[in-house]
Structure 1
Amino acid sequence: MTKTILTSRATAVGGRDGKVASDDNVINLDLVMPGTKGKEDIPTSNPEQLFAAGYAACFDGAFNLMARQDKKRVETRTNSEVSLLEDEEAGGVKIAAKLVVEVVGVTEEEAQDLLEKTHQFCPYSKATRGNIDVDLSVKVVDSLDN
């Protein structure tokens, strides 16, 4: 039997023009269709933005874990883009993701190795593998101050 490590809960009402909230109310946002403006005094989001934030956070954490397991001391920042694309084959739309990890503390070769290990380990990468296009890249930088 598989052991559950964590369960998160959220509820959406009204789809892309509705509202989403986590069970603890930390996330409590009005949703708007991508490309439309929300009310200026109320924070709004969309499912792609929420997915991009989750994937970036998960991947960044997994990258740091892979580095620790390889006895590497790194600092990282993971930037994520989630796009809606026209699905020419099946019709409708599909999702694609792009992740760029900026890393301090390793060589280009070590960074690339960690990127591949992270993609194999990250739960979001496992969930999307074979389902969406994911473009991964890593940049070795001197500092994350920008």
Structure 2
Amino acid sequence: MAVTALKRVLYTAEAVTEGGRSGHGRTTDGRLEVELAVPEDMGGNGGPGTNPEQLFAIAYAACFQSTMLSVAQRGRFDASDSRFASRVDIGPTGHGGFGLRVALDLHAPHLAPAAAAHLMAEADERCPYSNAIRGNIQVLLTVDGTPIEEIVENDQGAA
């Protein structure tokens, strides 16, 4: 897969971390500062800090939802009051390293499941986070717990 070059840079985020997973991180503009802690499930002390997987879960869901809201607005779909639950799993790959797995679940009270699935599929093609991880991380997209592929398949079968 070829690397896609940016035509122009719209924004650059800068951060500094010290101490790895048991350290401290901050953005250079001072807007975000976090203490980091290794969860007990990963052999850490489970201290009060956050971890990279939690930060990624929030960042990916926020970016994905913004993309989906933009797609919905263009198509005149009512995605108001929608929310995403996100999950980022980390575990051994069996090849000596660790990998991630992501799940994004949409709840959109004003959208039919088929419309929600369509919006998620289009957002997945446009979202910069989705594009960055495509082919590297397993991503499960669901609407109220149902995989979007099943929704689309059932909708086509009903037509």
TM-score normalised to the size of structure 1? 0.86
Find the counterpart in structure 2 of residue 55 from structure 1.
Answer: 60
Count matched residues.
135
Find the counterpart in structure 2 of residue 79 from structure 1.
Answer: 85
Q: Does 1:20 align with 2:25?
A: yes
Which string of whole-angstrom CA distances, capped at 9 and with x for unpartnered residues, describes residues 48-84 of structure 1? 1111110010011111111001111222101111110
Out of 10, 14, 21, the residue aligned to residue 9 of structure 1 is: 14
Q: Whose helix fraction is larger, Structure 1's or Structure 2's?
A: 2
Give the C-alpha shift of residue 6 in structure 1: 1.0
- SS of match in other structure, 2:106: strand
TM-score normalised to the size of structure 2? 0.80
Q: List alignment gaps of at least 5 residues for structure 1.
A: 141-146
Which string of whole-angstrom CA distances, capped at 9 and with x for unpartnered residues, describes residues 7-34 of structure 1? 1111111111111001122211111112
> Is the 2:67–2:123 contact (alpha carbons within 8 Å) kept by the matching residues of 1?
yes
- SS of match in other structure, 1:119: helix
Q: List alignment gaps of at least 5 residues for structure 2.
A: 1-5, 146-159
Q: Partner amino acid for 1:85?
A: G
> For residues 1-146 of structure 1, what are the structure 2 equivalents within 5 Å?
2-35=7-40, 36-39=45-48, 44-75=49-80, 76-88=82-94, 90-139=95-144
Query: Could you tell me how far apart the structure 2 residues matched to 1:138 and 1:65 are?
Result: 18
Q: Whose strand fraction is larger, Structure 1's or Structure 2's?
A: 1
Which string of whole-angstrom CA distances, capped at 9 and with x for unpartnered residues, describes residues 101-146 of structure 1? 1112221111111110010011100001001111111139xxxxxx
Structure with more relative contact order (C-alpha pairs < 8 Å, separation 6 or more):
1
